[in-house]
Structure 1
Amino acid sequence: MRLLTVWLVSLLLGACVKPADRDPSPQSAPVMGADGKSADEENPGDDWETPDALPARLSGDPRPAGKNDLVIAPGTRLPVTVVHIVDADTVTVETKETPPRTFKLRLAGINAPECHKERRRTARGKMSASCRSDDEAHGHASYLHLKKLLDGKAVTLTCKTVRGSSICEQDRYRRLLATLWDGAVDVNRKLLEDGMAMAFTKYPHDDRAAYCEAELAARAARRGLWALAKDVPGVLSLMSQKTRAWYRKHDELCKAALQEAKRAASEAAKRAASEAVKRAAPPANPPTKGN
């Protein structure tokens, strides 16, 4: 009888405990962001934005374009207007079509220092985010630099495309991986030249050699974030552990990319010289009659 009484008391006490007071399993109580979505993964820029699980159609395989995709014909640049700057490597653009479409872009091949953000409206009245202060050193200054360069400006866009198609590739946060062009100026590269970002060697990029070259020049001249300390380790000490982790192999990867670019340029020069010699050579004598 005593055991039965203890069991009943325990059962009643357990029923009185609120669900939030119980020990949840990892699956039943994920960490939640301000928008009510899971916030377990790396923040892309807006503090309340979280990644969606990418469906198979975004895996890199050829596929039909969807309504949320951007398609750019090979060898062309798409005219857009920059309507919002989130931070120094994330912006929102609007297309020129009617009605216009809005896309968030992750500037490909670079990584700018992170900043703390606050909710702000875009030029089109939609809620987004913008830098308000440093998270990593120089994060807010880099944001202000890009804002001065591009905010409200008409530019053109190229993007990394899904394999076998003209569909712009997206990252896990649904941002297009893109390069912005202000006339003939590669804005992504200019941020590196100005010392506002680092060449992002964590992932492959077609212009890695050129971007590494731009960053190394800024480092040597101590422009932008590279003036924060007397040497590169000193600058990295002002960045997050995550940045320091991917940057460990940065110089090695840049060196390899620059060497490969040099080799490719040398081979191209040899081929061009060989073709020039062939074009300059006199035509072979035609065979004479009777031979």
Structure 2
Amino acid sequence: MMRALRMVREGVLVIALFSLLLLIVAKLDRSQEVEISGPFHAIDGDTLAAGDERLRLTGLDAPELDQTCEDSGGAAWDCGRDARQLLARLVRQSAATCHGRGRDRYRRLLVTCRAGAGSINAELVRRGMAVAAGQFEQEQAAARGERQGIWAGEFDAPRDWRASRGLMDSPDTFSALLDWSKRLVGWP
């Protein structure tokens, strides 16, 4: 009797795991790359809006909209607002498009944007209006060496600036798992 119950339990577990695998494969098939063309609206230095869609530029972290930095003389300047203005100018260029797949925890589409042959993401870092975050290390080294943008003076890394103001919410493990599960099956 115990052996039969164990076999049934193991069979149910195998079926459940196989079903989960099928759901994952189905979800991956639906997450094909999306292309979005403007018009775009710059929300901040690394986030765009295109209609109702929010887009998060990948590979960089720009100063927050209300963040200030110091220039080479120690004077404060609105680096967050300047980062947004630069992003707005770059996406206004003709034929700016963004490509992406996947979403962050705020449900923004994760994208790489281009204007012509150039990467807008890389250009923000190259001009010193964002720090590299997993990509664009060479562009950051060039901006830093040339003392471009935020590298001209002193600044808090955007992540540190957010953390010092309590703006980095860390969902508990259960909430993070629940959000991941919802995204997996396509629930809003």
Report the TM range for the smaller structure's normalisation. Answer: 0.5 to 0.7
1:148 aligns with 2:105: no
Unaligned 5+ residue runs, structure 1? 1-56, 95-101, 116-133, 160-167, 202-207, 244-291
Written as runs of structure 1 = structure 2, the 5 A alignment for 1:30-49 is: none
Contact in 2 for aligned 1:82/1:154 (Cα 8 Å): no
Identity percentage of aligned residues: 30
1:81 aligns with 2:33: no
Instruction: Using the TM superposition, give the Cα deviation of residue 93 of structure 1 relative to its aligned residue in structure 2, in angstroms.
Output: 2.3
Higher relative contact order (CA 8 A, sep 6+): 2
In structure 2, C-alpha distance between the alignment counterparts of 1:83 and 1:237, rounded to whole Å: 26
The count of corresponding residues between Structure 1 and Structure 2 is 133
Decide whether aligned partners of structure 1 residues 147 and 222 sit closer, same or farther in structure 2, where only a CA change above 3 A counts.
Answer: same
1:72 aligns with 2:33: yes
Unaligned 5+ residue runs, structure 2? 1-19, 70-78, 165-188
4+ residue segments displaced more than 2 Å? 60-66, 69-73, 134-137, 151-154, 234-239
- Flag the structure with larger Rg: 1
Written as runs of structure 1 = structure 2, the 5 A alignment for 1:226-241 is: 226-227=151-152, 229=153, 234-236=154-156, 240=161
1:240 is paired with a residue of what secondary structure?
helix
In structure 2, C-alpha distance between the alignment counterparts of 1:217 and 1:196, rounded to whole Å: 12
User: What's the TM-score, normalizing by structure 2?
Assistant: 0.60
Decide whether aligned partners of structure 1 residues 71 and 177 sit closer, same or farther in structure 2, where only a CA change above 3 A counts.
Answer: same
Match of 1:286 in 2: none
More helix by share: 2
Pairing partner for 1:216 from 137, 141, 150: 141
Decide whether aligned partners of structure 1 residues 65 and 236 sit closer, same or farther in structure 2, where only a CA change above 3 A counts.
Answer: closer
| RMSD of aligned Cα (Å) | 3.1
Decide whether aligned partners of structure 1 residues 240 and 216 sit closer, same or farther in structure 2, where only a CA change above 3 A counts.
Answer: same
In structure 2, C-alpha distance between the alignment counterparts of 1:241 and 1:213, rounded to whole Å: 25
